[in-house]
Amino acid sequence: MKIDGKTRQDAMRWLLASACVVWMTGMVLAQAPAPKPDAAQPAPPPLSIPDAPEPANAKAWLLMDEATGKVLAGENIDARLEPASITKVMTSYVIAAELKAGRIKPNDKVMMSENAWRTGGAATEGSYSGFEVNKTAALSEMVKGMVVQSGNDAAIALAEHTAGSEAAFATLMNDYAKRIGLKNSHFVNAHGLSAEGHYSTAHDLAILGRVLIRDFPQEYSYNKIREFTVGPITQRNRNLLLWRDESVDGIKTGHHSGAGYCLLSSAKRGDQRLISVVMGARSEEERAVDSLALLNWGFRFYETHRLYQPDIVIATHKVWKGTTDAVKLGVEVPLLVSTPRGRYAELKPLMDVPKTLIAPIKAGQKIGTVRVMLDGKPVIEAPLVAVEGVVEAGFFKRLWHEFLMWWESV
């Protein structure tokens, strides 16, 4: 049978259209979210989560999931209040950062100056460490005197050793506070006694605890020491939760007349860690009871999951004009999510990726966004990046892809 030119042209068009349909079907499949690697086990029906046990007398309070930074419950979380001795967590962070930078050493001899002794020593009404005036102690020991005994004198001595004066050290505190994302905090001393312009918030203190745990786990571990001895004096850690719940391993108490009784606490049960903040309670006992109630509530009704690991391919996407026709997509950092307990299996990941990608693409280049949804609302989102690069193809393949891109746009 003789085939005329028009019939041959129609046949070619049909073949090209079929190829485009097959390719576009592949694109749709490629963009579909990959199965979640940390698949949940079948769970009972979702629980109705009761309200968090609100501290009755606190000025502000908060409960945070440490892995994700998500605030699970709280009230007045951004109200600027006096943090009292929880300030020393910021001092600990600065000391740890300066140690890491090599500007100070664990075995440095730190002088208990007369200023530190008179301002924060045994003769004052505040907590003290007991290091002798005008004598030195190893920096690592002085840090424990500050953390475990809440020694105001030790905090001042460490500030003077690190920055020359407590005022200069406060500048470092504020610089580091900005770096780690504390938006409503300002420090004028290293110990937390009442001073004009010295404030923080429940939210900022939870963030501070979170970054100390993340960045300096060794220094954080000092917070679970129950007692510490300096010379003939042995003092107990003022965090009552260290004796009441084995999962609690920090973080810091605080108290003076202006601040009331405060507690920044953290506990880890299994792979889940929570951070609670209670500011302005009426007594040492009340702040401990309120904090433990918040932690128990959080562990009971929420869970944390790791959705995706870095460098693991979670989706692919079509690439034009490359030596390969698809780019592998993943996340830069572990993608973690906090959900009501029993509802992990209901999460729905969605990929937001540009329709057209053209090589070259570099490894690590941001390509789009992955959003994790629950009940139609975003729970968390993170950038999608290229796990591997895609090199630009040769001239003829680029020319062919140019034609296919034109054909698709017609």
CATH number at residue 388: 2.60.410.10
Q: 356 pLDDT band (50/70/90 cuts)?
A: confident
**269 within some domain:** yes
- Do residue 261 and residue 350 come from a single domain? no
* Unique residue bearing structure tokens 């020491």: 225
Annotated catalytic residue 113:
no
- Do residue 93 and residue 68 come from a single domain? yes
Instruction: For the chain, give the number of residues.
Output: 410
* pLDDT tens-digit readout, 147-165: 999 999 999 999 999 999 9
- Do residue 76 and residue 191 come from a single domain? yes
Q: What pLDDT, on a 0 to 100 scale, did the predictor assign at position 343? A: 87
Annotated catalytic residue 221:
no
**74 within some domain:** yes
- Active-site residue, from 59, 85, 185, 266: 85
Neighbours of 292 (CB within 10 A): 20
Q: How many domains does the chain have?
A: 2
Q: 209 pLDDT band (50/70/90 cuts)?
A: very high
* Unique residue bearing structure tokens 């610089």: 175
Q: What pLDDT, on a 0 to 100 scale, did the predictor assign at position 23? A: 43
- Do residue 371 and residue 240 come from a single domain? no
- Active-site residue, from 92, 127, 129, 150: 150
Helices (H) and strands (E) in the chain, counts: 11, 16
pLDDT at 121 over 90: no
Q: What pLDDT, on a 0 to 100 scale, did the predictor assign at position 41? A: 53
Question: Is-above-0.75 flag for pTM?
Answer: yes
pLDDT at 398 over 90: no
Q: What pLDDT, on a 0 to 100 scale, did the predictor assign at position 7? A: 52
Any idea what the CATH number is for the domain that residue 171 is in?
3.40.710.10
- Active-site residue, from 88, 144, 318, 328: 88
Using DSSP, state whether 292 is helix, strand or coil: helix
- Do residue 18 and residue 106 come from a single domain? no
Last residue in a domain, options 270, 301, 332: 301
* pLDDT tens-digit readout, 304-351: 988 888 878 988 989 888 899 999 999 998 888 888 988 888 889 888
- Do residue 372 and residue 398 come from a single domain? yes
Residue 5, C-beta contacts closer than 8 angstroms, at least 6 positions apart: none
Q: What pLDDT, on a 0 to 100 scale, did the predictor assign at position 205? A: 98
Q: What pLDDT, on a 0 to 100 scale, did the predictor assign at position 172? A: 98
**4 within some domain:** no
- Do residue 294 and residue 316 come from a single domain? no
Candidates 122, 198, 125; CA nearest to 154 is 122
Q: What pLDDT, on a 0 to 100 scale, did the predictor assign at position 4? A: 53
- Do residue 200 and residue 230 come from a single domain? yes
Last residue in a domain, options 301, 325, 346: 301
Q: What pLDDT, on a 0 to 100 scale, did the predictor assign at position 21? A: 40
**367 within some domain:** yes
pLDDT, greater one: 400 or 149: 149
Find out whether 154 and 87 touch, Cβ atoms under 8 Å: no
- Do residue 262 and residue 328 come from a single domain? no
pLDDT at 61 over 90: yes
- Do residue 30 and residue 179 come from a single domain? no
Q: Give the residue-averaged pLDDT of 265-281.
A: 96
Spatial distance between the Cα atoms of 283 and 279, rounded to a whole number of angstroms? 11
Q: What pLDDT, on a 0 to 100 scale, did the predictor assign at position 303? A: 92
Q: 247 pLDDT band (50/70/90 cuts)?
A: very high
Annotated catalytic residue 129:
no
**273 within some domain:** yes
Find out whether 361 and 393 touch, Cβ atoms under 8 Å: no
Last residue in a domain, options 301, 320, 340: 301
Neighbours of 392 (CB within 10 A): 13
- Cα three-residue angle 208-120-131, rounded to 5 degrees: 95
pLDDT at 28 over 50: no
Q: What pLDDT, on a 0 to 100 scale, did the predictor assign at position 19? A: 45
Spatial distance between the Cα atoms of 345 and 357, rounded to a whole number of angstroms? 32
Tokens of 407: 């054909």
> Strand 60-65 and strand 272-281: pairing?
antiparallel
Tokens of 385: 């990046």
Where helices occur in 222-324 by DSSP H, the ranges are 241-244, 284-301
Spatial distance between the Cα atoms of 155 and 171, rounded to a whole number of angstroms? 15
Q: 13 pLDDT band (50/70/90 cuts)?
A: low
Structural domain of residue 250, as residue ranges? 60-301
What are 315's strand-pairing partners? 329
